[in-house]
Structure 1
Amino acid sequence: MIDKLNIQPVFSVPIIEATYSNHEQLNPKLRQIFLKAEKEKEKFGNKEEYVQKNENVFESRFDLFSWNNPEISSLRDFCWASLYQAIGKLNNYDLKTLEKLHMASSSWFHVTKKGGFFGVHNHANSAWSGVYCVDEGDQDDESIGSGLLSFLSPNMATTSYVDMSCSNLSSQYSRGNLQFKLKPGQLIMFPSWLLHEVKPYFGTRERITVAFNAWFKYSGEIKNR
């Protein structure tokens, strides 16, 4: 007889979701700013492309959160507050410890038009990455998967053999990819090593997102656990 059967979730990947509470007022202003900047490609465009995409995606240079603009500053403060809160929860850090974590970052925006996509990639030399939805664009009924932010399961190698004993694993044990149809005001944060892509977008209105990478130096005493 089995006395006790214990199943533990291990090697989990944290995906963090947050929502900007006043996005109905903020996002239309951000949309105007980004569409205006998108027209000045020589001034605001990223000239060093690292990720596979096509001409239907505009990517800005990587200094967005340093722009002198109150709406962009508000978004930056929301992103950093959300990230620090998540780091604190995940690492069991108190406020004094978090105050000794000093961030460096890069940040940018994307304007995606019909047919635009981003290939599979991750973000090297960073600890955490995030995507904020300014405008989800629009979609017709035939393009349900249009513009999905798709995270590739790091357990893909386990699909080398699948039968009914392991084909319907639930929750954190699943081998399937995780996909988000982003909504305005939604922020998704994740470890930068996690592979992801943006599926081709088929809407007619511009799909607009903001992205960032962050990495940290710690000025306190490091204690072994």
Structure 2
Amino acid sequence: MIDSESTQPIHIEQLDVWTTPLFVTQLADHEFLKDALLEQVYAQKSQQQEAIASHVAPTAKHALHESTLDFLDCDDATVMETKRQLEELILEVASNLNQLHWPDDAQAQAHIIESWYHVTQQGGYHDAHSHPNCSWCGIYYLEPGDASQADVGGMNRFYDPRVNAEQYADPGTAYLGGQGVWDFTPVEGQIILFPSYLKHSALPYFGQKDRVVIAFNSIIELY
């Protein structure tokens, strides 16, 4: 028989499953690297025969220039140092998340396997997409232009991967956020790292200055 007079507290354990980690940081040497990186970006841009040199999903992009997918492989000291610092950040994130799942004696290394720049001009955008064939992706805001100002756009929007999370809404689902998206306002020198499955877009940008980012895809290997 259940004692209806019992005052024993009920223990309910909360399990937060299927979370999606994103990481935001600042490139340590951004101030020293920025000008030389921009010089490399614009030098390559001036040689492009077409706006989307990568030939990847050109109809999903408007009013922007995209390089081939090897920008950070350029034989330039500043570019190589930038790649080294980015790979260090990726490795730190991946190690912190996965250390318990790796063999005790494993040595990990991060490799940026694809990298490119976007130079976005007034009215430019990139439709929603994800990045296959890699584990971690990143966006480095080299020169956000006017994107930090109100009402000029240029934000990166990330979409809730729980596709059915908001099929029904009442007060019991208020914790879901009510919109299914997370908008990130570009800040100069910042880097956002995110898992490759996470769908995202670059919202239309209406600033006067160029919005310049370096994006990259990476893999992790154990030795």
Question: Is contact 1:44-1:61 (8 Å) kept?
Answer: no
Aligned to 2:128: 120
1:129 aligns with 2:133: no
Q: Which one of 170, 178, 183 corresponds to residue 163 of structure 1?
A: 170
Alignment of 1:1-225 (within 5 A): 2-42=9-49, 46-50=53-57, 52-54=60-62, 56-92=63-99, 96-99=105-108, 101=109, 103=111, 105-139=113-147, 143=151, 146-169=153-176, 176-219=180-223
| C-alpha contact (below 8 Å) 1:27/1:184 kept by paired residues | no
State the Cα deviation string for residues 4-36 of structure 1 (Å, max 9, x = none): 122221111111222112212211221222122
Unaligned runs of 5+ in 2: 1-6
SS of residue paired to 2:201: strand
Partners of 1:142 and 1:16 lie apart in 2 by: 23
RMSD: 2.5
Q: CA deviation at 1:202?
A: 0.7
Tell me the matched-pair count. 213
Aligned letter for 1:12? Answer: T
Q: Which has the higher strand share?
A: 2
Alpha carbons of 1:196 and 1:141: their partners in 2 closer, same or farther (altered >3 Å)?
closer
Q: Is contact 2:64–2:125 with CA below 8 Å preserved after alignment?
A: yes
Show CA shifts across 1:34-70 (max 9, x none).
Answer: 122212112996242226111x110000111210111
- Does structure 1 retain, via aligned residues, the 8 Å contact 2:147–2:186? no
- After superposition, the Cα gap between the structure-2 partners of 1:194 and 1:169, relative to the gap in structure 1 and judged at 3 Å, is closer
Deviation of 1:217 after TM superposition, in Å, equals 4.3
Between the aligned partners of 2:91 and 2:191, the Cα distance in structure 1 is: 14
Q: Which has the larger radius of gyration?
A: 2
Shift of 1:162: 0.3
Partners of 2:95 and 2:149 lie apart in 1 by 41
Distance 1:160 1:90, change over 3 A: same
Q: TM-score, normalised by structure 1?
A: 0.85
- The aligned amino acid for 2:160 is S
Gaps of 5+ in 1: 220-225
Question: Kindly tell me: are residues 140 and 72 of structure 1, through their superposed partners in 2, closer, same or farther at Cα, counting changes over 3 Å?
Answer: closer
Q: Deviations over 1:130-177 (max 9, x none)?
A: 110100101596515x1111110012412111011212447xxx7631
Report sequence identity in percent: 24
8 Å contact kept, 2:51–2:64: no
Once residues 137 and 183 of structure 2 are traced to their aligned partners in structure 1, the CA distance between those partners, rounded to angstroms, is 16
